[in-house]
A and B are shown apart, each in its own frame.
Chain A
Amino acid sequence: DVKVTQSSRYLVKRTGEKVFLECVQDMDHENMFWYRQDPGLGLRLIYFSYDVKMKEKGDIPEGYSVSREKKERFSLILESASTNQTSMYLCASSFLGQTLDTGELFFGEGSRLTVL
Chain B
Amino acid sequence: GEDVEQSLFLSVREGDSSVINCTYTDSSSTYLYWYKQEPGAGLQLLTYIFSNMDMKQDQRLTVLLNKKDKHLSLRIADTQTGDSAIYFCAESTNNAGNMLTFGGGTRLMVKP
Give the B-binding residues of A (Cβ under 8 A). 4, 31, 35, 40-45, 48, 50, 90, 92, 94-99, 101-105, 107-110
Is the CB–CB distance between A42 and B4 below 8 Å? yes
Q: Which of B38-87 contact A (CB under 8 A)?
A: 40-45, 48
Is the Cβ of B96 less than 8 Å from the Cβ of A107?
Answer: no
Which 4 interchain pairs have the tightest Cβ spacing? Answer: A103-B97, A107-B42, A94-B97, A42-B104
Contact yes or no, A40 B43, CB < 8 A:
no
Given A41-B104, A48-B99, A103-B95; 15 other pairs, CB 8 A cutoff: A31-B96, A31-B97, A31-B98, A42-B88, A42-B102, A42-B104, A95-B97, A96-B98, A97-B97, A99-B95, A104-B45, A104-B48, A105-B43, A107-B42, A109-B42
Find out whether the CB atom of A107 lies under 8 angstroms from the CB atom of B98: no
Judging by beta carbons under 8 Å apart, are B105 and A105 in contact?
Answer: no
Chain B residues with CB below 8 A from A107, complex form: 42-44
Q: Determine if B100 and A98 form an interchain contact, defined as CB atoms under 8 angstroms apart.
A: no
Chain B residues within 8 Å of A95, by CB: 96-97
Contact residues of A: prevailing secondary structure: loop
Most chain B C-beta atoms within 10 Å of own C-beta, residue among A35, A99, A103, A105: A103
**Number of B residues whose C-beta is below 8 Å from A?**
25
State the B residues within 8 Å of A (CB).
4, 8, 31, 33, 35, 40-45, 48, 88, 92, 94-100, 102-105
* Chain A residues near B88 (CB-CB < 8 A): 42-43
What is the minimal beta-carbon distance from A109 to any residue of chain B, in angstroms?
Answer: 5
Question: A110 near B42 (CB under 8 angstroms)?
Answer: yes
Complex Cα distance, B94 from A50, in Å, reads: 14
B96 touches A90 (CB 8 A): no
CB pair B98 A102 closer than 8 Å: no
Contacts known (A42-B88, A96-B96, A104-B97); A90 close to B43, Cβ less than 8 A: yes
Residues of A within 8 A of B94 (CB): 103
CA distance A99 to B50 in the complex (A): 12
